[in-house]
Amino acid sequence: MIIGVNGHDEIFSKVIPALTKLASQCKDSEGTWLLGGSCSLWLQDVSITATPNDIDVYVDMKDVEEIHTKLSGFALDEPYLDDTGLYHSCLSHYSLDELPMELVGGFEVRTEGAYYRTEVTDVLSSEAPQWKSGNIVISLMPLAHEFVFNILRNRPDRYLAIATIIRNHPAKHLPLLSNLLERNEWNAQYVSRMAEILDQPLLSGQWKECRNGHK
């Protein structure tokens, strides 16, 4: 799905040039990358409280070096492994038109009741909507990922807004969400909470069937 830029020009007056530069630098990359965070949410019409002021790019660990090389002229540091609180990833930082950007490789989240890892190439990229401005096309992190990520970090301001979009278009988002539940580790409380927020009681039942099938 292609998302146009209509309605976003004013909001992204400082972000669009940076996104254009990002896409231009990485256009010939063999590595797969997705735009996430607040920029991605705005571009997918999720109602969030603040205008995006930074850029988050997600890649698999195997693609960190290539994407970093593409962006080396804007780099503020070299990629390094980071374990901070719930999160484990390989991080590096950049400045694109004075807008901060973070490259996040091999992103994982661990909580007391869940373990979630991003699989950009194998899982998320095939479901990624695309934002287009002129001849620039950027793949966006799917909302199913953004939903579970913000559930895990307890950001109701984000996951409730995302849930509104998912409830309005369940056929578009729920298959990937079910896949993320199947491929990662969750306790029953997390899954029940997601099912309740999305008004999808069958989600919990499907997860239980899948878990029992893997025993």
Summarize pLDDT for 127-145 with one digit per residue, the tens.
999 999 888 899 999 999 9
- Whether residue 119 lies inside any domain: the answer is yes
* pLDDT for res 210: 61
pLDDT above 90 as % of the chain: 77
At residue 164, the 3 state secondary structure works out as helix
CATH number of the domain encompassing residue 202? 3.30.460.40
Kindly report, residue by residue over 85-103, the tens digit of the pLDDT. Answer: 999 999 999 999 889 999 9
Give the domain extent around 121: 6-213
Q: Which residues contact 139 (CB under 8 A, 6 or more apart)?
A: 32, 33, 34, 35, 125, 128, 129, 130
Domain count, the chain: 1
At residue 185, the 3 state secondary structure works out as strand
The pair of three-digit structure tokens given for residue 162, joined into one six-digit string:
């995302």
Residue, of 12 and 130, whose pLDDT is higher = 130
- Whether residue 1 lies inside any domain: the answer is no
Is pLDDT above 80 for 211? no
Band the pLDDT of 206: cuts 50, 70, 90: low
What's the longest Cα–Cα distance across the chain?
52
- Whether residue 203 lies inside any domain: the answer is yes
Across residues 149-168, what is the average pLDDT? 97
Report the predicted TM-score, pTM, of the whole model to 2 decimal places.
0.91
Cross-strand pairs, 130? 2, 139
Is pLDDT above 50 for 2? no
